[in-house]
Structure 1
Amino acid sequence: MKKHTISAFALFLILQTLFIKTIAQVTNLAAGIQKISAGYPDKFTPYTFCEELPMKTALAGLSVGKLPFKLADIKISTNERGVVVEIPLDNSEQLYGFGLQLGSFNQRGLKIKPIVNDNPLNDVGYTHGPTTFYVSNKGYGILINTARYTTFYCGTTAKLNDRNSAPTEIKGGTSVDELYKTSNKELGNVTVDIPGAKGIEVFVFEGPDLKNVIQRYNLFSGGGALPAIWGLGIKYRVKADFNQQQVIKMAEYFRNNHIPCDVLGIEPKWQTAAYSCSYVWAKDFFPDPDAFIASVKDKGFQVNLWEHAFVSPKSPLYEPLKTKSGNYLVWGGLVPDFVDSSARGIFANYHDQTFVKQGISGFKMDECDNSNIAFGSNSWSFPELSEFPSGIDGEQMHQLFGLLYQKTVYNIYKRANKRTYLDVRASNAFASSYPAALYSDTYDHDQYIKMILNSGFSGMIWSPEVRESNSIKDFMRRSQTAVLSAQTLFNSWYLQNPPWLQINIKKNNAGQLMDNAKQTEADIRKLFEFRMSLIPYLYNAFADYHFKGIPPFRALVMDYPDDKNTFNLSDEYMIGSGILAAPLTEKMDERKVYLPAGTWYDFNTNQKYEGGRSYIIKTGLTQLPIFIKDGTILPLARPVEHVAADTKFEITCFVYGDHKTVGSLFEDDGVTFNYEKGNHNSVNLSWDKNKGTIKRHGPFKSTMYNIVKWQIIK
């Protein structure tokens, strides 16, 4: 008999072929949350750095749904390129998520590559918040736990198999659009391509509905963020080169003109070096920082400092971080290895001693996204080939840098038992608990509205900030959107005067105010006062975010996942449980608004509308384009100019609908983390038989709210 031999290399090839379908292990993490592990997952992933514990009691209280497929139907395979994951996709499913997407809403039929980028252009996936997490209106969510550049084919690929059919013949022409058009609705998988990976973890979040999926994700991440209550007021960023006296003068302008404002943001010139950063007060601009902080705080303002994380050779942090940074510089500065806890500790301890203990209430953490990868000329950030002492590479560090930067700064305040509200330009998965509002240097109003909706799918907070405008109408429409968002921010970093006094940049900086400046100022005061009146309602919505995982700002499809009219509705959103917002842009004098099933009331006119259909509405520049859901108790406070430690909101409860209904307010000190130890109240509101009642439950001794009036809207 002839003896057969086989080389070691041939044996390797055979074994590689045999094991291309990777053996997976399933772990139950919490009620309705499973993890599938296969191969050798990366050491550094978004979940690696999630220190907040899952809120297991709240998770256990959610109903658990049933997946529309078997867990075993999720296929994971490895090859020389990396890892491929295939998740079943029903023909009628609608998909949402992938972080803070700007150019897309319903992701079904798209090829999406969530990469952190400072210019989130088009619908390819570039974003300030590149989460590899998507949700389905069929009641489940999938998170691919990786920091690698990953591509999702959302029902756009068809594999060769025995069921392939002949292609459909093109009828009626051969235009380019017709030749390349595909409906992408009938292909049976979401295919995920993870180059370079040797294994993967797939988190599966079960419903039963879309909102439950998002709740489960946020609660698993430690609960949604609950910012300091003053952060829900107005934030105004002054001109980049303002000195100490100019900032104080701006503070006096707000108070003297009775324009609400809680936070003043100080831009780059406060430092001796800004690109890269020194983190040292520039004495020629701020000769006495302690006196400056005391002065503006005495006027009721919080102070927020601009910075980024690239450390200048002029900084006291340079030498301590020199051996704990990447091997490439940015603007001549170090890139701290925030994966390393000791590097985070050095950076955090300096900020704590130098700024937080000095009275700084928050930071704007800029430039932590990647330079614009759409253009070769924009290459200011560190390259993907960078190496870091922790062992992470530049690609993964880019994806995680904003997340780790948030973690570093947020933990300063958490350890000090002080709440904050931060600004940041990049984030990632499992960041739900961080009170950090994302922002962008893009400035398209339609896209800013869309990102309010998309933030709700990703455990993120979005700030559609207002800068300059084309016209008064454009400015007021943008201001309406800002007032109806998670953070109301006006950024005048290149404007000498507030934009409502002069929208022309050149004239603004020359001190030439508009003829109608005082009227525009009065109009913006009216919008700001509405925002301040809404704070108790918003604060309760953020409490629901923390304790229940319900995003305070979210797409209608989350609340109405079976209503086909909401599947692609990207310019309307829910605020809390009872307000539907439908912002207008400069292009509109009127707009179409779709109202889901039920009864709704126009906030401005109290006109009643039956849901399940669309209406054409008109909203003035000083009105708010919102509708109130029947059965809502809307608590609106008498506006204050800023939220102080002793502020007691005087509230009128507006009851929508002539029937028994209930509502609530969350009450605590507004500035510490003592609520995590149970030191808070639930203020239960109820209306029945033309009478309103209030009952407080909880150990918190003080009162934040005084209900002075009830008003019914029939």
Structure 2
Amino acid sequence: MSSFETESLNQSIDIIREFKKTDNTFFLGARVDRIDPSGRSGLLRWKRFAKKPRFAFNQGDFRFEPTRPWTFPNEYAEEPALPFELSFVSPRTVRLRVKTRPGVLDSRSSVMLDGELPGDEHESWSRSASGDAGEGGETAGPIVWSSPFGSVTIERDPLRFVFRDGQGRKLTGTYHYSDTTCLVNSEPTPFSFVRSTSDMRQALAASFCLSPGEKLYGCGESFTRLDKRGQKIDLWVKDAHGVQTSQMYKPVPLLLSSRGYGMFVHSSAPMTFDMGCSYDEANVLYCADETLDLFFFFGQPKDILSEYTALTGRSPVPPLWSFGLWMSRITYKSEREVRETAGLLRQHRIPCDVLHLDTGWFEKDWQCDYTFSPSRFNDAQTMIADLHRQGFRTSLWQLPYFTPSNELFAEIIDRGLAIRDADGELPTEDAILDFSNPETVRWYQQKLAGLLKLGVGAFKVDFGEAAPRGGQYHSGKSGFYEHNLYPLRYNQAAADITRQTTGEAIIWARSAWAGSQRYPLHWGGDAEISDSAMAASLRGGLSLGLSGFTYWSHDIGGFTRQSPEALYRRWLPFGLLVSHSRCHGAPPKEPWEYGDGFVESFREAAELRYKLMPYIYTQAWLSSKTGHPMIRTLFFEFPDDQTSWTIEDAYLFGSDLLVAPLLEEGSARDVYLPPGRWIDYQSGLHYEGRRWQTIEAGNVPVVLLVRDGAIIPHAALAQHTGDINWDDIQYRRFASVPERTGECGGYYYHPLEQRLYELRDGKDGVYKTGR
């Protein structure tokens, strides 16, 4: 059996299994063998071990024991010395690269990074060393590189990389095999790599120590508990079939720690992060790559995301209309249905900007051929133009998989646009577009461009999680490395042609990988219809925001079946108080299908979003400049408040609004309020922070609070964003002591002027100053 086997097609890969196999060979990081004069690169010596059985008191375990190779010819290093290098990207970012085979460390640029990395910023870092280098460097003292924000120490023998903050407090460090105090010396997995006996493939274990009480966050759109400490997560792009498993549509190999640091593993190979699951004090980042390329960030969450997105790119602001409501279902199948829905939205005075046509706009449902059904859409171009005059943009579903019955199947095969296996055959039943092939990208973009020229505003970039691992891609890589990159390439292809054709940066994508945030926006997949799924959706959105994604949406009310009215009613304000809002899933989704009472509730919630549109768009613009998420964990704004690090059922929408959805039946809920005073948006009641409060929801069934001292810009009611008068904005001042002036502030970004204004209060009202 070869390494990294799975039981069925496109299952996630648990890298830890390779480190458990007793027939594999293990190389444990032993010492620094040599450091060059710069003090930033050299050779690491790796000691060869095997796992041997140990029996004691009727229990069997496996321990590391030194072993010698049995090879011929006798020309292979028993304990190899292999390259490593430290480089400094910024005063807050260190890059550590370690090879597990002989050779030179290359620059390792990739599509995950936003262009080329900046030059080595070692001028910001100062070096100190203790002791004199002995022969081979084995007896020399440690080398310390420091910046104002932290330091990294290279301890030579035994080998350790130790990271400290600017005050000298240890944040974390790598595990040497001699550090274990466990009775079984193979726990925790030390800083090491494994070589598979079956095919010589190698994988790394970057093992770091954890502190008591330390919390970990990130990993992409993970729906499990927000704090990943104690969890094991496979980072493998996969159709999660919902939001209540550990599988992810959007894994991202980025972690943030409550101790003030973050780590990004720059690779597309399969990974497994064991974050204190197998061993409580060890955070082991398993990566099935032969080079460890690790970026280490110093700082609080805001600092870390700004540093990370400076490397991998930030989200441009999507077009203004995309921040309006999207109305959809599975699926509108005719021009008549689309026009009828548009008319009823306006008739019921429900603000809306986008109508999405899902899988049914082709002649055959689900069979993507980029052509409107001639039997059900009489004149698509005229329909799109008419909708535009009513204030609606049109969004269309599509996917990159083509079944044998699809008329495009033969063309894709004949032109060499599909992924092949090592034998030149299709690795699956479908023809799957190979986006690493420039010719495929051109063909695909030509198909989309024709629709964009008809007036289509955006495409739903669905699926993308099933790129075959056994494929051989045009890039020269196998699916082992291309699988996780597939959604990034797919996102880019659709986003680039949309921007080139319409001038607007917008897609609606389900799958993603590190770097996909450059191509907004993404939604949370196929949520179940339950309270637990609503809570899991929130965790996923918060986790994705902590992984570099500014914008996020989800299917309001759940996707899989018809939403129960009571659940839909509670889910609605949560879905309308995130960056982008879409009603989608099994029909019906349109509010009039639930009755007049629900229409009233729906309208009131939608109107709340549209009144807040100046605030929403301002926060979108500000967030895009820093790489920060629009929906934020409480600790993102309050990192010094320990309780805020534990909250996963409420969030900040931008910098000044706190949202606590009703995640179960009832009209009130307990809410933890961070430091400061908070004002109920609907009732006007004031609450003290740094404590739990029981708060009643308002007419819109959600607890919505405003930070004391905030000025929130509001718009007059409009039926779509194009109808908003951006020169007639109301600036609402939220102050716990109304008679005191000069203490409130905020921002307003004028979308037509493309200008940011600072807002301050005074005796005569709110003053606006251009910046």
2:707 paired residue among 622, 625, 629 = 629
Aligned partners of 1:55 and 1:219 also within 8 Å: no
Structure-2 residue corresponding to 1:638: 716
**In structure 2, C-alpha distance between the alignment counterparts of 1:54 and 1:693, rounded to whole Å:** 41
Instruction: Give, in angstroms, the shift of residue 67 of structure 1.
Output: 5.6
| Residues 472 and 124 of structure 1: CA distance in aligned 2, closer, same or farther (over 3 Å) | closer
Structure 2: gaps of 5 or more residues: 1-68, 125-146, 155-159, 163-172, 175-190, 196-201
**In structure 1, C-alpha distance between the alignment counterparts of 2:403 and 2:114, rounded to whole Å:** 29
294-303 or 211-220, which deviates more: 211-220
**In structure 2, C-alpha distance between the alignment counterparts of 1:134 and 1:235, rounded to whole Å:** 32
**In structure 2, C-alpha distance between the alignment counterparts of 1:416 and 1:135, rounded to whole Å:** 38
Structure-2 residue corresponding to 1:229: 320
1:356 paired residue among 452, 460, 473 = 452
| Residues 317 and 194 of structure 1: CA distance in aligned 2, closer, same or farther (over 3 Å) | same
Structure-1 residue corresponding to 2:757: 683
**In structure 1, C-alpha distance between the alignment counterparts of 2:577 and 2:366, rounded to whole Å:** 33
Residues paired across the two proteins, number: 619
587-596 or 121-130, which deviates more: 121-130
Instruction: Give, in angstroms, the shift of residue 228 of structure 1.
Output: 0.7
1:539 paired residue among 614, 617, 624 = 617
Alignment of 1:436 onto 2:521 = yes
Matched residue type, 1:363:
F
Q: Secondary structure at the match of 1:501?
A: helix
Structure-2 residue corresponding to 1:522: 600
Deviations 1:111-150 (A, max 9, x none): 2212222226788742111111111122221111122221
Structure-1 residue corresponding to 2:750: 667
1:201 paired residue among 288, 293, 314 = 293
| Residues 46 and 475 of structure 1: CA distance in aligned 2, closer, same or farther (over 3 Å) | farther
**In structure 1, C-alpha distance between the alignment counterparts of 2:647 and 2:230, rounded to whole Å:** 16
2:260 paired residue among 139, 142, 161 = 139
Deviations 1:503-553 (A, max 9, x none): 5xxxxxxxxxxxxx1121011101001111111111111111211222111
| Residues 398 and 84 of structure 1: CA distance in aligned 2, closer, same or farther (over 3 Å) | same
Aligned partners of 1:137 and 1:562 also within 8 Å: no
**In structure 1, C-alpha distance between the alignment counterparts of 2:152 and 2:690, rounded to whole Å:** 27
Deviations 1:85-118 (A, max 9, x none): 1234333321100000002210112222122222
Structure-2 residue corresponding to 1:454: 543
Superposed, 1:120-159 pairs within 5 Å as 125-157=246-278
Alignment of 1:484 onto 2:546 = no
Query: % of aligned pairs identical?
Result: 21
Instruction: Give, in angstroms, the shift of residue 9 of structure 1.
Output: 3.1
Matched residue type, 2:665:
K
**In structure 1, C-alpha distance between the alignment counterparts of 2:223 and 2:108, rounded to whole Å:** 24
Aligned partners of 1:369 and 1:401 also within 8 Å: yes
**In structure 1, C-alpha distance between the alignment counterparts of 2:634 and 2:115, rounded to whole Å:** 29
Q: Highest Rg: 1 or 2?
A: 2
Deviations 1:52-106 (A, max 9, x none): 67899xxx99x96326977933656433141221234333321100000002210
| Residues 454 and 7 of structure 1: CA distance in aligned 2, closer, same or farther (over 3 Å) | closer
**In structure 2, C-alpha distance between the alignment counterparts of 1:277 and 1:43, rounded to whole Å:** 41
Matched residue type, 1:151:
T
Aligned partners of 2:419 and 2:427 also within 8 Å: no
Aligned partners of 1:604 and 1:623 also within 8 Å: no
Aligned partners of 2:716 and 2:724 also within 8 Å: no
Superposed, 1:402-481 pairs within 5 Å as 402-416=487-501, 418-443=503-528, 444-460=533-549, 461-467=551-557, 471-481=564-574
Question: Cα RMSD (Å) of the superposition?
Answer: 3.0
Alignment of 1:78 onto 2:193 = yes
2:431 paired residue among 306, 314, 334 = 334
**In structure 1, C-alpha distance between the alignment counterparts of 2:650 and 2:577, rounded to whole Å:** 11
1:655 paired residue among 729, 733, 739 = 733
**In structure 2, C-alpha distance between the alignment counterparts of 1:239 and 1:123, rounded to whole Å:** 21
1:368 paired residue among 445, 464, 472 = 464
Higher relative contact order structure (alpha carbons within 8 Å, sequence separation ≥ 6): 1
Deviations 1:613-632 (A, max 9, x none): 00111214524421111121
Alignment of 1:616 onto 2:663 = no
Instruction: Give, in angstroms, the shift of residue 315 of structure 1.
Output: 4.8
> TM-score, length-normalised on structure 1?
0.80
Aligned partners of 2:677 and 2:707 also within 8 Å: yes
Aligned partners of 2:355 and 2:393 also within 8 Å: yes
Instruction: Give, in angstroms, the shift of residue 407 of structure 1.
Output: 0.6
Structure-2 residue corresponding to 1:192: 285
Matched residue type, 1:691:
G
| Residues 139 and 252 of structure 1: CA distance in aligned 2, closer, same or farther (over 3 Å) | same
Aligned partners of 1:276 and 1:330 also within 8 Å: no
Structure 1: gaps of 5 or more residues: 1-5, 159-183, 371-381, 504-516, 670-678, 698-714
Q: Secondary structure at the match of 1:567?
A: helix
**In structure 1, C-alpha distance between the alignment counterparts of 2:494 and 2:259, rounded to whole Å:** 37
**In structure 2, C-alpha distance between the alignment counterparts of 1:23 and 1:55, rounded to whole Å:** 22
Aligned partners of 1:99 and 1:131 also within 8 Å: yes
Aligned partners of 1:454 and 1:554 also within 8 Å: no
Aligned partners of 2:717 and 2:724 also within 8 Å: no
Matched residue type, 1:687:
D
Matched residue type, 1:341:
P
Instruction: Give, in angstroms, the shift of residue 612 of structure 1.
Output: 0.8
**In structure 2, C-alpha distance between the alignment counterparts of 1:578 and 1:217, rounded to whole Å:** 24
**In structure 1, C-alpha distance between the alignment counterparts of 2:693 and 2:230, rounded to whole Å:** 29
1:574 paired residue among 652, 657, 673 = 652
Structure-1 residue corresponding to 2:80: 18
**In structure 2, C-alpha distance between the alignment counterparts of 1:416 and 1:522, rounded to whole Å:** 39
2:769 paired residue among 657, 675, 695 = 695
**In structure 1, C-alpha distance between the alignment counterparts of 2:108 and 2:330, rounded to whole Å:** 38
**In structure 2, C-alpha distance between the alignment counterparts of 1:38 and 1:456, rounded to whole Å:** 29
Instruction: Give, in angstroms, the shift of residue 329 of structure 1.
Output: 5.5
Superposed, 1:9-408 pairs within 5 Å as 9=72, 11-13=74-76, 15-19=77-81, 22-39=82-99, 47-51=110-114, 65-66=149-150, 72-73=161-162, 75=174, 77-80=192-195, 81-119=202-240, 125-157=246-278, 184=280, 187=281, 189-195=282-288, 197-207=289-299, 209-273=300-364, 275-311=366-402, 314-315=406-407, 319=411, 322-327=415-420, 332-352=429-449, 354-370=450-466, 383-408=468-493
Matched residue type, 2:552:
W
Matched residue type, 1:319:
E
Matched residue type, 1:342:
E
Matched residue type, 1:204:
F
Instruction: Give, in angstroms, the shift of residue 51 of structure 1.
Output: 4.1
**In structure 2, C-alpha distance between the alignment counterparts of 1:140 and 1:285, rounded to whole Å:** 56
Aligned partners of 2:427 and 2:468 also within 8 Å: no
Structure-2 residue corresponding to 1:174: none
**In structure 2, C-alpha distance between the alignment counterparts of 1:605 and 1:647, rounded to whole Å:** 27
- Greater per-residue strand proportion: 2
**In structure 1, C-alpha distance between the alignment counterparts of 2:390 and 2:429, rounded to whole Å:** 38
**In structure 1, C-alpha distance between the alignment counterparts of 2:290 and 2:759, rounded to whole Å:** 54
**In structure 2, C-alpha distance between the alignment counterparts of 1:407 and 1:417, rounded to whole Å:** 15
Q: Secondary structure at the match of 1:445?
A: helix
Instruction: Give, in angstroms, the shift of residue 685 of structure 1.
Output: 1.3
